[in-house]
Structure 1
Amino acid sequence: MSILNNSVRLTGFLGSAPEIKVTENQKKFAKINLATNNYRRNDNGERIVDTTWHHIVLWEKQADLAEKYMYKGSKVALEGRLSNRYYTDADGIKRYTSVIIVNEVDILTKKEQN
């Protein structure tokens, strides 16, 4: 079962267009925010939607795909690994964040050709 270490699978919708960047070493990456929804009923029987936002990073060829085919509202399925990072914000406060580094992506909503 060691192959299941640090594995994340998500299907959700992009909250905005991919943010494309290039590192100092000329490696392209895309940052996206992915929303996943969980549904439940409250005590009155009303349907409640709980949305969770995930920070996602795609590298090189996957970043090219994100740039070309993904847009706000795109539905994607992805598999990757969880990476936890610390950083210091503009106010000097140490922050902690979790990012999913993508290994595989399937774009379920294609960008319409103009």
Structure 2
Amino acid sequence: MNKVSLIGNVTRDLELKNYNDGKGTYVRFTLAINSYSGKLKGTSVEFINIVAFGNKSEVLSKYVTKGRKVAVEGRLSTSSYINAEGEKRYATEVILSDFYFVDYKKENVG
């Protein structure tokens, strides 16, 4: 089973991008997640890369800004690439299947 559930804060504003000659949309963003490591080590922060496609990417790019707390569900995906020095590197990211707004921002009225 390949399933991931995370809650964290978005580290930067999202930018909607196109692929497949404009037929599809996606966003890439990073979640900062507090991770408790035990009494001696305390709390650390993990930075997890997330990718969303289609309608979900459009909603995320419209309503999610830097600092917003969201919950995401998805699956892990690992890819490889060759860096500028010719070394093979690996990247792991979460392919988003669903998301939830955790914080609710009040709108200014009146």
TM-score, structure 2 as length reference: 0.85
Count of residues in correspondence between the two structures: 106
Deviation at 1:110, TM superposition (A): 4.9
Match of 1:8 among 1, 4, 9: 4
- Long gaps (5+) in structure 1: none
1:22 aligns with 2:36: no
Query: Judging changes above 3 Å, is the alpha-carbon distance between structure 1 residues 24 and 49 closer, same or farther for their aligned structure 2 residues?
Result: same
C-alpha distance in 2 between matches for 1:9 and 1:80: 7
Match of 1:41 among 39, 42, 47: 39
Q: Residues 68-88 of structure 1, C-alpha deviation per residue, up to 9 Å, x if partnerless?
A: 100000100011000000012
**Same amino acid, percent of matched pairs:** 31
Deviation at 1:96, TM superposition (A): 0.1
Query: Judging changes above 3 Å, is the alpha-carbon distance between structure 1 residues 89 and 19 closer, same or farther for their aligned structure 2 residues?
Result: farther
1:52 aligns with 2:41: no
Deviation at 1:48, TM superposition (A): 2.8
Match of 1:32 in 2: 29
Query: Judging changes above 3 Å, is the alpha-carbon distance between structure 1 residues 19 and 111 closer, same or farther for their aligned structure 2 residues?
Result: farther
- Aligned-partner SS, 1:41: coil
- Long gaps (5+) in structure 2: none
TM-score, structure 1 as length reference: 0.82
